Amino acid sequence: MIDTGNMRILSATARLNRGRWFVSLQVEEKHALVKVARPDAAVGIDLGIKTLAVLADSEGVLGAEPNPRHLDRAQKQLRRASRVVSRRWEKANQARNKIHHRVANLREDTLHRMTTRLACEYGTIVVEDLGVAGMGRNRRLSRRVADAAFGEIRRQLTYKTRRRGTRLVVADRWYPSSKTCSRCGAVKTKLPLSVRVFECDNCGLVLGRDANAGHNLVALAARTTGTGAAGDLDLATAKSKPRGADRKTRVTRPRRKAGTGRAGGAIPSPRAGKETGDRQQDTGAQLAP
């Protein structure tokens, strides 16, 4: 491509990553837009840990992308390599880095295959704006959230849809895709993460939680104006939601009841009480005739 004049190299950067040297080239390339297979079709993507992505297109077809969990599969090898590292540093560290490098390559290959297939097929793709940083604070799910790489999926879809001239719609972070019935539009106030099957109290729809969210996301594509903004919806089609429907389900700890004595909470200092009393006296003085 360089010989034909369709590409030129702007810069080159060398870096050491996981014990290997890499050279990254920044290039400028001339290319024409490639027409997607189904430009009039839209697909909604519900990302998750059990299943990496549940796909629901505008024709009602459901699909799923399994989560390979490359990091979980390599845990046994990593534990063995870490024990060896504690005894023999240099060689063992290289062996452990080799396992991490393989896991990263497998994850990158899986995500590129999925995002390229979606970008080449659909004219509109709808994804969720997930709070990945907050999800990573969960001690039970942090490793699986990092292995799924939700942020990388959105990044790849962003530049791949732009390259093909298609549209990427990002649903608002608080859009209740899982709580909303995909048939009648009724919204549940609460839907714990442990409930994997959505049951509508209004129309009786029984559907998998992720499949229901995928249908709602693909329906969101028809309600956006074309700017690609998640909250840019048609106000005429917007429906009122019950209190708490636009909030994600969170697990909260019960508050401790304040009692008497030292265990009952903070005890105000004598100075704070004195200052409070002084302020009350001043207020009374101002109100006096």
Active site residues: 46, 128, 210
Angle, in degrees to the nearest 10, between helices 75-87 and 89-121: 150
**Alpha-carbon distance 101 to 257, whole Å?**
50
User: Tell me, what amino acid is at 268?
Assistant: P
In the block, tokens 């099957």 appear at 197
Q: Name 167's bridge partners.
A: 124
Residue type at 172? Answer: D
The pairing of beta strand 51-57 with beta strand 38-47: antiparallel
What token pair was written down for 268?
């105000």
| Residue of 205, 164, 165 lying closest to 184 (CA atoms) | 205
- Could you give the angle at which helices 150-163 and 89-121 cross, rounded to 10 degrees? 40
3-class DSSP string for 188-224: CCCCCCCCCEEECCCCCCEEEHHHHHHHHHHHHHHHE
